[in-house]
Amino acid sequence: MNILVCDDDKEILDAIKIYLDNEGYKVFKAANGLEALEIIGEKEIHLIIMDIMMPKMDGLRATMKIREDKNIPVIMLSAKSEDTDKIMGLNMGADDYITKPFNPLELIARVKSQLRRYTTLGSLETRSNVFKTGGLMLDDESKIVTVDGEAVKLTPVQYKILKLLTANAGRVYSIDEIYEKVWKEPAVSPENTVAVHIRKIREKIEINPKEPKYLKVVWGIGYKVEKL
Amino acid sequence: MNILVCDDDKEILDAIKIYLDNEGYKVFKAANGLEALEIIGEKEIHLIIMDIMMPKMDGLRATMKIREDKNIPVIMLSAKSEDTDKIMGLNMGADDYITKPFNPLELIARVKSQLRRYTTLGSLETRSNVFKTGGLMLDDESKIVTVDGEAVKLTPVQYKILKLLTANAGRVYSIDEIYEKVWKEPAVSPENTVAVHIRKIREKIEINPKEPKYLKVVWGIGYKVEKL
DNA sequence: ATAAATCTTAATATTTTCTTAATGTTAATA
DNA sequence: TATTAACATTAAGAAAATATTAAGATTTAT
C-alpha cells in the first residue's frame, strides 16, 4: 500500500514516514499541494495524509483538486482543533481528521481504518475508483463501463463526459460546464459537439435513447446522470 | 440515502433522527445490535451510526458482525473519549468516531463525509442547496423539485421563480421584483408573463391551483411562498 | 503510410418553453 | 353594488433548446 504524506514541516514528514514504514507501508513525501498532485499523477497512491496549512497550495485546495477525478482517501492533519476547521476539512472531501500533536497509535489506527474500505478481505488488493448509480457503473481504473453487468465500449471523450456526470450523479451540468471540464477550455458557440456525444453515449448505455433512464436532460439547464 | 441509527438511549436516537431528517436522509432506528442486524438484512442501509455501549449486543460486536459480509460505513458513538477506545473502535472496523456529547454540525459533516463515497465524489460543491417549506422542497444541485416527496418537473423560468420565492419563504415579492430578479432586466408593462408562469407553477405544485397552499398571492402587493 | 476509429461541424428536425394578447375573474372601495 | 385595478386563464405563435444525421477532418493504431 502506498501512502503519500504531505506536509511542509520536514520533521513531521519524517516522523510520520517512520511510523508508517514500520507498519509496512510504502511512503511518498511531498512538501506542498502541488508536489502532492504531481506524485499522485505518477504513482499509484492509496491514501493521502495531508497537512492543511502549507505553502504553494494548501491542503484543502489540494484535496478538492484531487477529488475532482480521483477517489483516494484523505486524512487531514492540522494544528488547529476547533470544530469549524474540522467540519470544513470533512466537507471539503477529507475522510478523516487528526490534530497535531497526534498520538502515533491513533494515526496508525486511522490509516488502517481508511485503507480497510479499499482492501478486499485476505488480499492487499487496491480498490479502484468505481462510480455507480443504478445499473450503470464505471471503473476508472480499467475504464470499463457496464450497464446491468453488460460491458459497453465508450470512446475517450464519451467516457470523460459520462464519468463527470456519474461521479457527480444527480447534479446537473450545463453544456458549457461539461465542455469546460472535459475539454479544459471554455466553450464557444455555436457548440453542439457535446450534444452529439451525449447522443452516442445514450445509444450505448440506454435501452431506448429517446427515453433515457440514466443520462437525462434537464431542459434549459443541462444534463445529468440520475442518482439511483 | 438511508441511515440506520443504533442507540439504546431513546432521547439520543430521536435527536439524531431529527438532525438527519432535516438533511433529507431517511432514518431507521434500532435500540441494540441485534435489531440493527435485522434492519440491515431487510433494508438497504447506506450508513450506520452506532453507539458502543448497548444491551443485547454491543456496538463493537455488531460492527464486526456487519463487516463480515457488508461494507456499510459505520460511525461509532460513545460517551468515552479516551484514546484507547477510539483506537479500538476504529480497529474494529468503524470508519469514524464521535464522542458524546456531540456537536450536531459535526455529526452531519461526518455523515456527509462518509456518504460522499457512495454518492461518489467529485467537486467541492457538496453543500446541498436545498430549500424547503412544508412539503415543498427544491434541490438546487439536481434541480429537482418535490411536493410531499413526489417529483415535479419545472421549466427553467418556473424553477427560477419558485426558487426565489422558496429561498425567501414568507417574503412577498411584487411582480416587477420577480421579473427583475429572474430576467435580470426591468419589467416593462404591459407585463403578464410572470402571472402565466405563476399559473403553470401552481398547476404543478398545488393540489388545487385555485386555492394554493404554497404559492400565494397577496393582493395588490405580489406573491410569496408560505413559510411552513 | 494506410486504414480504422474518433471527433467535429453543419444543416435540419424536433421538442419544449416562453411570450403575447385577448378575455375572464376577484377584491377593495367609494 | 358599481367601479376599477390587479390577478387569472387560455390558446396560439414565436423563440429557444435539444436531437439527429451525415459528411468531412482529425487522430490513432497497425
B111 plus B172 within the same structural domain: no
- Name residue B104's beta-bridge partners: none
Q: Is residue B125 part of a domain?
A: no
Strand D bases near protein CB (under 7 Å) are 6-11, 16-22
Q: Is the pLDDT of residue B137 over 80?
A: yes
Q: Answer yes or no: do B109 and A90 touch at CB < 8 A.
A: yes
Residue lying closest to nucleotide C6, CA to C1': A155
Average pLDDT over residues B160-188: 91
- What confidence score (pLDDT) does residue A188 get? 76
**β-bridge pairing B144-147 and B130-133:** unpaired
Choose one of B119, B138, B159: the last residue of a domain: B119
Q: Is residue A164 part of a domain?
A: yes
A98 plus A178 within the same structural domain: no
* pLDDT class of A57 with cuts at 50, 70, 90: low
- Residue A78 has phi, psi (to 5 degrees) of -160, 150
Number of neighbouring beta carbons within 10 Å of residue A84: 11
Q: Is residue B162 part of a domain?
A: yes
**Which percentage of chain B shows pLDDT scores above 70?**
75
- What confidence score (pLDDT) does residue A50 get? 87
Q: Is residue A124 part of a domain?
A: no
Average pLDDT over residues A67-82: 71
* pLDDT class of B57 with cuts at 50, 70, 90: low
Helix, strand, or coil (residue A104): helix
Average pLDDT over residues B9-32: 83
B94 plus B169 within the same structural domain: no
- What confidence score (pLDDT) does residue A125 get? 39
Look up the CATH number of the domain holding residue B30: 3.40.50.2300
Tell me how far apart the terminal alpha carbons of chain A are, to the nearest angstrom. Answer: 32
B150 plus B215 within the same structural domain: yes
ipTM: 0.61
B169 plus B208 within the same structural domain: yes
Q: Which of A113, A131, A221 sits opposite B156 (nearest CB)?
A: A221
A12 plus A109 within the same structural domain: yes
B38 plus B68 within the same structural domain: yes
Q: Is residue B193 part of a domain?
A: yes
Provide CB contacts within 8 A for B11, sequence distance 6+. none
Look up the CATH number of the domain holding residue A165: 1.10.10.10
What is the C-alpha to C-alpha distance for residues A228 and A170, in angstroms, rounded to an integer? 9
Average pLDDT over residues B26-32: 87
Q: Answer yes or no: do B126 and A91 touch at CB < 8 A.
A: yes
A74: nearest Cα among A52, A105, A104: A52
Nucleotide nearest to A194 (CA to C1'): C8
Cα dist from B181 to B24, B186, B187, B200, whole Å: 28, 9, 10, 19
Q: Is the pLDDT of residue A81 over 70?
A: no
In chain B, residues with a C-beta closer than 8 Å to the C-beta of A92 are 124
* pLDDT class of B121 with cuts at 50, 70, 90: very low
B142: nearest Cα among A162, B3, B131, B202: B131
A53: nearest Cα among A14, A84, A9: A9
Strand C bases near protein CB (under 7 Å) are 5-11, 16-22, 27-28
Q: Which of A88-97, A133-142, A150-159, B95-104 is modeled with the greatest confidence?
A: A150-159
Q: Is the pLDDT of residue B184 over 60?
A: yes
Nucleotide nearest to A210 (CA to C1'): D19
What is the C-alpha to C-alpha distance for residues B127 and A47, in angstroms, rounded to an integer? 24
Q: Which of A100-109, A126-135, B190-199 is modeled with the greatest confidence?
A: B190-199
User: How does DSSP assign chain B, residue by residue?
Assistant: -EEEEE-S-HHHHHHHHHHHHHTT-EEEEESSHHHHHHHHHHS--SEEEEESS-SSS-HHHHHHHHHHH----EEEEES---HHHHHHHHHTT-SEEEESS--HHHHHHHHHHHHHHHH----STTS--EEEETTEEEETTTTEEEETTEEE---HHHHHHHHHHHHTTT--B-HHHHHHHHHSS---SS--HHHHHHHHHHHHH-SSTTS-SSEEEETTTEEEE---
Q: Which domain holds residue B152?
A: 130-225
Written as one letter, the residue type at B219 is: W
Choose one of A90, A116, A142: the last residue of a domain: A116
Q: Answer yes or no: do B94 and A86 touch at CB < 8 A.
A: no
B56 plus B146 within the same structural domain: no
DSSP state of A144: E
Q: Is residue A122 part of a domain?
A: no
Mean residue pLDDT across chain B: 80
What is the C-alpha to C-alpha distance for residues A108 and A88, in angstroms, rounded to an integer? 23
Nucleotide nearest to A200 (CA to C1'): D20
Which value, in Å, is the radius of gyration of the alpha carbons in chain B? 23
- Name residue B225's beta-bridge partners: B215
Out of A80-94, B75-89, B105-119, least confident range: A80-94
A175 plus A95 within the same structural domain: no
Could you check: is the Cβ of residue B56 within 7 Å of any atom of nucleic acid strand D? no
Provide CB contacts within 8 A for A47, sequence distance 6+. A1, A2, A3, A4, A72, A73, A74, A75, A111, A114, A115
Could you check: is the Cβ of residue B219 within 7 Å of any atom of nucleic acid strand C? yes
**Residue B175 vs residue B54, higher pLDDT:** B175
Cis amide linkage into residue B55, ω under 30° from 0: no
Could you check: is the Cβ of residue B15 within 7 Å of any atom of nucleic acid strand D? no
How many residues in total does chain A contain? 228
Residue lying closest to nucleotide D5, CA to C1': B220
**Which percentage of chain B shows pLDDT scores above 90?**
30
Helix (H) or strand (E) holding A92: none
Q: Is residue A121 part of a domain?
A: no
**Which percentage of chain A shows pLDDT scores above 90?**
29
What is the C-alpha to C-alpha distance for residues A178 and A160, in angstroms, rounded to an integer? 9
Q: Is the pLDDT of residue B150 over 80?
A: yes
A112 plus A160 within the same structural domain: no
Choose one of B58, B93, B119: the last residue of a domain: B119
What is the C-alpha to C-alpha distance for residues A129 and A54, in angstroms, rounded to an integer? 27
- What confidence score (pLDDT) does residue B128 get? 42
* pLDDT class of B63 with cuts at 50, 70, 90: confident
Q: Give per-residue pLDDT as tens, A137-177.
A: 888 877 889 998 889 999 999 999 999 999 888 888 989 88
How many residues in total does chain B contain? 228
A79 plus A35 within the same structural domain: yes
A103 plus A135 within the same structural domain: no
* Total number of domains in chain A: 2
- What confidence score (pLDDT) does residue A122 get? 38
